[in-house]
Amino acid sequence: MKFKQFSFILYFTSHLFVFAEAAQKDLGENLKNGSPSRPLTNNDNQSSRWTGVGLLSTPNGTCTAVLIDTRGVGWTTTAPAYVITAGHCVLAEHGTSKLNHELNASVAFNYFQDTADNNKTYKVRTAIWTSMLGTDLAILELEKPLSALLQDQIMPLELSPTPPLFSHDVLNVGAPGTFTNRALRLSACAQEVSRTISGVQPAFPGGLVNECKDLDYGSSGSPMVDRRTNKITSIVSERHYGFSPAFLSNCFINGIFSNGTENCDLQQINVQVDFESLFLRSKLRPEIGPSGNELMPTWNFKFSIDTPYYRYKTVRDAQSCERPEDYSAAISATKGHINDSVGPETRMHVLCIIGVRSIEKNLTTALLKNAFTHAGHLAEPAPEPAFGYNEKFTSMQWEGAYPDFSSHFFYTTLVDSTPCADFRDTRYKKAAALELLSPDSPLKICSYASNESDPQPSATRFDLIAPPATDQ
């Protein structure tokens, strides 16, 4: 046996014992959840388990990426090396997923504070798959095989085989760009499970929320790892939320990315949505008709998709978009326009759209990982003001009104058939604790409510008041 081969096997075997031991202890070394991050050093191989987390450099900026362990039955030393990062680090286009996307990038591993002279940098061959369609993830193939990185003592991390179901303690290992001496940093926190992440449009299912400190630009693509097993539970998307890459375990056979199988069906799809549908139609409000009846809003969602057909449904959380039941029959994608009514249930509603290439195409679990999702928030009804009357004034206040709202806004106008204006109308003013009105003629009062911590105001309403009664 050649000495080089023997050294590699010895190194590999010794690390099996290191990682087995690590699985039994706290890898965060008592770093408290929510405490400031700390730089990682590796002068005595104390952080060697994270040599496979590195700085991803592209023409558009930097992110973090992590080498994943694709070894298993049938793995050979010629199998490629793959890293996972956030999809927007590769192609920041909402509604787009691509296969074999050309990318001029590199990843620098062994990226510790005290190993700047010993960074190991590898070129990216291609972005095997990158997506901002239903998730924010990308798989990149490096030019060197995984065996070459192992010989360079760059150790991959395993993907957690299933998405987390409950709150759990994690460590973030990333390279935020907000520190003078940029290097890998470690932070600790609890990671919570969320059914829908809707901080950006479109909304994505299966989000995981964290409160780890010092996640900033450059942290995108960094792994959240279980602080006892060191397995990747999520990849950071934007600061305090990320997405589980567990389903991607099904895409590797014998250590090679294998798409188009029963368990891995990642598609190249582009969904284009006009600005109004994507952003201005995300906060929806019932309207009050001239006769006082409530009119529910519609999606009025206009889009194009580069598949011949699409299917859709509406649900209450984006996670349900990944289940096949209740999708419509296939519809021609010649003109994408969904105008179903939203509600009457308030708060989040999610529109799910899946592109299909034939009418008969079954919606498999693997195919539904390509679903486009868009969240709309239907406003709560506006609280009803309380009126008091005497011979001089009509008083108006919202004491004890709907508890989700802390502020109330109104304007007055002559009674006519014109509906109350949208909340953006400049006539609205913030109501005092008690408003006194003394109209000379009947007035219409238009009002809505809001809460400073939630950008979604209530629906609008109108009330009519008459002039104060006078003695004859």
Spatial neighbors of 189 by CB under 8 A, at least 6 apart, are 33, 34, 169, 170, 172, 210, 211, 212, 213
The CA distance from 314 to 211, in Å, is 30
Mean pLDDT of 89-101: 94
Q: What residues contact residue 380 under an 8 Å CB cut-off, 6+ apart?
A: 346, 347, 402, 404, 405, 458, 459
* Helix (H/G/I), strand (E/B), else coil: 452: coil
> With 90 as the cut, is the pLDDT of residue 146 above it?
yes
Question: pLDDT, tens digit, for every residue of 164-194?
Answer: 988 999 999 999 988 888 999 999 999 998 7
One CATH from 3.40.50.300, 3.30.1640.10, 3.40.50.1980, 2.40.10.120 for 3-257: 2.40.10.120
**Residue 197 has what pLDDT?**
62
- Which band of pLDDT confidence, cut at 50, 70 and 90, is reported for residue 251? very high
Whether residue 411 contacts residue 379, with contact meaning beta carbons closer than 8 Å, is answered with: no
Amino acid at 295: L
Q: Which of 235, 255, 236 is CA-nearest to residue 246?
A: 235
Rounded Cα distance, 216 and 225, in Å: 18
Query: Residue 5: pLDDT above 60?
Result: no
Tens digit of pLDDT for each residue in 188-225? 999 998 766 655 555 788 789 999 999 998 999 999 99
Residues in the chain: 472
Q: What φ, ψ does residue 16 adopt, rounded to 5°?
A: -60, -40
**Residue of 113 and 157 predicted with greater confidence:** 157
Distances (CA, A) of 465 to 365, 377, 441: 57, 31, 9
Instruction: Please measure the distance between the N-terminal and C-terminal CA atoms of the chain and give it in whole angstroms.
Output: 115
Q: Residue 154: is its pLDDT beyond 50?
A: yes
pLDDT at 17 over 70: no
More reliable by pLDDT, 464 or 197: 464
pLDDT at 86: 96
Q: How many CB atoms lie within 10 A of CB 141?
A: 20
Q: What is the mean pLDDT of residues 459-464?
A: 89
Residue 16 reports pLDDT greater than 60: no
**Would you kindly state where each structural domain of the chain is located, as residue ranges?**
3-257, 271-378, 386-465
pLDDT at 352 over 50: yes
CATH T-level topology, domain 386-465? Immunoglobulin-like (2.60.40)
The band of 468, judged by pLDDT with boundaries at 50, 70 and 90, is: confident
- pLDDT tens-digit readout, 113-141: 998 888 999 999 999 999 999 899 999 99
pLDDT in tens, 376-429: 888 888 888 999 988 888 999 987 655 568 889 999 998 888 888 888 899 999
User: Is the dihedral angle over the CA atoms 168, 172, 178, 180 positive or is it negative?
Assistant: positive
